[in-house]
Structure 1
Amino acid sequence: MPTSNPTPTPTPNPVAADEASKPAAAAPKGIHKGVSDHLMIEIKEELENMLSFAMRNGKIINTELNPLIESNNLDDLINAHNILAKNVAPATPKSIKFLKKLNATDSRGRIVLSKLPVIRNLIILALLFLALFIGTSLSSQVDQASLAKGVLANSGTDLLLNLVFICATSGMGVIFYLLKSVSEAIQHGTLMPEQSIYYVGLIVLGIMSGLILSEIVSTYNNGEELTVFNSSVLALVGGFSSDAIFSILQGIINKIKALFTSGND
């Protein structure tokens, strides 16, 4: 008599059983408020930083902040954040946090140049441009006659030394502007770490502006009335006002572009 094989019963997977027995991941405690606890803590820290900055710098603090800061309600914290942001302007919570990090207790023993790499790099570049300016000005090949020739009428070593002289003068101008800007940013609490990228671009732009400005004037006057003093001043002004020169050139290009685009329309 034939016997039928019984159907084997599947053995339960221990891994699946363990996963099923685990409780579901709990949501952050502050999620019922619309944000996580991490963001709530960050808001509290920014409020504390701005309040401390305002008190240390003699800012007028609105007394309505007291119940708002003590509250754990998200709306109250946002209102307090908005009020304090207006009180500490033009500083921002990000810049205040950066300055607080620079003034931390573990960095008090360090000198200012090591705590602020931006100032250190600008001072090094200023000394470099000053050395190039002095070195090229001592050469007999850099004089009124060679500078008056300009780029097109000059060649060889004379042209190289003249260009280094003009670029060094432009570099000193833009470094002078940046050192002043960084000093004001530290004083007003608006310095941020990503501004170092902007400073690098502005240095290159300043050198180009000084070189272009001095050489355009030299070409325009055919070098007849250009002196060493005038060329140096033009390069210095070009480096210092690189933002203004860029804005002027950008405005001219936009007007020319508007003429062609309006004609096509």
Structure 2
Amino acid sequence: MPGPIQSLARAAAILRLLAGGERRLGLSDISSSLGLAKGTAHGILRTLQQEGFVEQDTASGKYQLGAELLRLGNSYLDVHELRARALVWTDDLARSSGEAVYLGVLHQSGVLIVHHVFRPDDSRQVLEVGAMQPLHSSALGKVLAAYDPVAHSEAAENERPALTPRTITDTAGFEDVLELARTRGWASDLEETWEGVASVAAPILDRRRMPVGAVGITGAVERVCQEDGEIQARLVAAVRDCARAVSRDLGAGRF
């Protein structure tokens, strides 16, 4: 039976070292820890970097795990499992909020809607499972971009078109929005994707506390917002409670 391929074994060892040690490690640290010549370690790191599995900090020259590795790590969670875990909680959220509920995951350069609960009234509505929402303007997209490095890269590096007069398109303003989302634990969309429509969303985490999706509500501005134009506090709380409940079902524990 053939033995292991040495270069692959060394690459795996480097990835484990970066995953288990400090956030960033220099070339000397990596080569000495694994007993590799600097030239050998550098060649492997360069290949891993080209594939997106490792990133190099431009200021310090140190290495860390890359976004592509995080994307592969998250792939264990099947979308159908996420939807199944969220069914009861999203139904409860629709009833308590009186608004439509959306469950979304990162897909290419946008948010794929994998579950949609209709607003609990007699109005005519269209099922939007399979629809895409933008990363840069929707509440679901902002949450994913704030918590998921891969989603952040997609939103930061691609064009951010102005969908309404309120869409934030400049880089500095967009990064400020993401920082606010990380600080608060939720994101909003106040007529930035569709005029007259407001949304609020929160992240769903797995057992490793990695973002695997987002859940949110969407409705008319006059129903979702207060008189001062901000999202109603009770709706923010309801969305966050739903996200926490689904996350706990996925093994994230209390947070």
Q: TM-score scaled to structure 1, two decimals? A: 0.27
As a proportion of its length, which structure holds more strand? 2
Q: TM-score scaled to structure 2, two decimals? A: 0.27
